[in-house]
């Protein structure tokens, strides 16, 4: 984004408070630490309100959160909108019958799981909003879209606090659903 475009106030607040941690969890990665948002009750509320507004436009009837930081932002949104929340989790964490999707990471593979009856609690045709803290390559969200499809749901929007605009995550996810974020690092 050119410097002369004034950013949304919430975007500025988020970008100013995030902590950059170089070489975490491995060399070459600049980790965007969202915990300072959680430490600021006012900004956390503003972030949840703003994300809720973005998500509401797509009229979902279910909120899904991606483990683990997607739970922090997804559950308050589900509560505010009075919608069911479904957790998308790492392998071996969910206790009931599950579906799973494996996907490629930069190095190796990852798997995510969801309860196979998770959408049975949704009234009507399931229209799901997927929430995570950050969109990077899009691999995790794309796998989540496939997982939701396996249990007969449709992802209508994927929403994030932060988007790494220099990666191709947005283009990948836009093939499955709308993409929204509160702040973009370019
Ligand atoms: P991706 O599948 O590449 O879009 O990565 C998404 C997941 O990895 C999200 O759940 C993020 O929390 C985490 N992640 C990826 N890159 C970063 C980063 N630079 N800083 C913080 N979290 C990251």
Which CATH number does 9-185 carry?
3.40.50.2020
Domain ranges of the chain: 9-185
User: CA geometry: angle at 18 spanning 66 and 80, to 5°?
Assistant: 45
Going by C-alpha positions, the residue among 4, 28, 167, 40 that lies closest to residue 181 is 167
Relative to beta strand 62-66, strand 85-88 is parallel
Q: Record the tokens describing residue 85, joined without a space.
A: 């929340």
pLDDT tens over the chain, length 186 residues = 454 455 679 999 999 999 999 999 999 999 999 999 999 999 999 999 999 999 999 999 999 999 999 999 999 999 999 999 999 999 999 999 999 999 998 778 999 999 999 999 898 999 999 999 999 999 999 999 999 999 999 999 999 999 999 999 999 999 999 999 999 999
Q: What is the pLDDT of residue 6?
A: 58
Residue closest to 164 by CA, chosen among 136, 132, 130: 136
Q: Using the 8-state DSSP alphabet, how is residue 89 labeled?
A: B
Residue with the smallest CA separation from ligand 1 atom 19 is: 31
Containing 68, the helix (H) or strand (E) segment is: none
How much is the pLDDT for 10? 97
- Is ligand 1 within 6 A of the CB of residue 68? no
Write out the two tokens for 119. Answer: 């959408």
- The pLDDT score that the predictor gives to residue 4 is 47
In short, whether 29's Cβ falls inside 6 Å of ligand 1 is yes
Q: 34 CB less than 6 Å from ligand 1?
A: no
Which residue puts its alpha carbon closest to atom 15 of ligand 1? 136
Task: Tell whether ligand 1 has an atom less than 6 A from the beta carbon of residue 66.
Answer: yes
Q: What is the DSSP letter of 5?
A: S
pTM, to two decimals: 0.95
Q: Which atom of ligand 1 is nearest to the CA of 169?
A: 4
Token pair recorded at residue 168? 């191709």
Separation of alpha carbons 74 and 85, rounded Å: 7
Q: Distance between CA 90 and CA 95 in Å, rounded? A: 12
Specify the residue with its C-alpha closest to ligand 1, atom 12. 134
Whether ligand 1 lies within 6 angstroms of the CB of 64 is answered as no
> By C-alpha distance, which of 162, 150, 153, 159 is closest to 178?
159
Nearest protein Cα to ligand 1, atom 16: 136
Dist. CA 30–CA 43, nearest whole Å: 23
């Amino acid at each position: 984004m050119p410097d002369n475009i004034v950013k949304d106030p919430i975007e500025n607040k988020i970008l100013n408070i995030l902590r950059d941690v170089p070489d975490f969890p491995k060399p070459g990665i600049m980790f965007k630490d969202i915990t300072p948002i959680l430490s600021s009750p006012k900004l956390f509320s503003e972030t949840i309100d703003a994300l809720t507004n973005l998500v509401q436009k797509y009229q979902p009837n279910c909120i899904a959160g991606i483990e683990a930081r997607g739970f922090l932002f997804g559950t308050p949104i589900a509560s505010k909108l009075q919608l069911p929340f479904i957790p998308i989790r790492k392998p071996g964490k969910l206790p009931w019958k599950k579906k799973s999707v494996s996907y490629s990471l930069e190095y190796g593979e990852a798997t995510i799981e969801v309860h196979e009856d998770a959408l049975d609690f949704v009234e009507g045709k399931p229209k799901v909003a997927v929430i995570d803290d950050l969109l990077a390559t899009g691999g995790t969200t794309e796998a989540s879209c496939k997982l939701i499809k396996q249990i007969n749901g449709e992802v209508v929007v994927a929403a994030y606090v932060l988007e790494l605009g220099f990666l191709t995550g947005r283009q990948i996810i836009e093939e499955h659903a709308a993409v929204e974020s509160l702040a973009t690092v370019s």
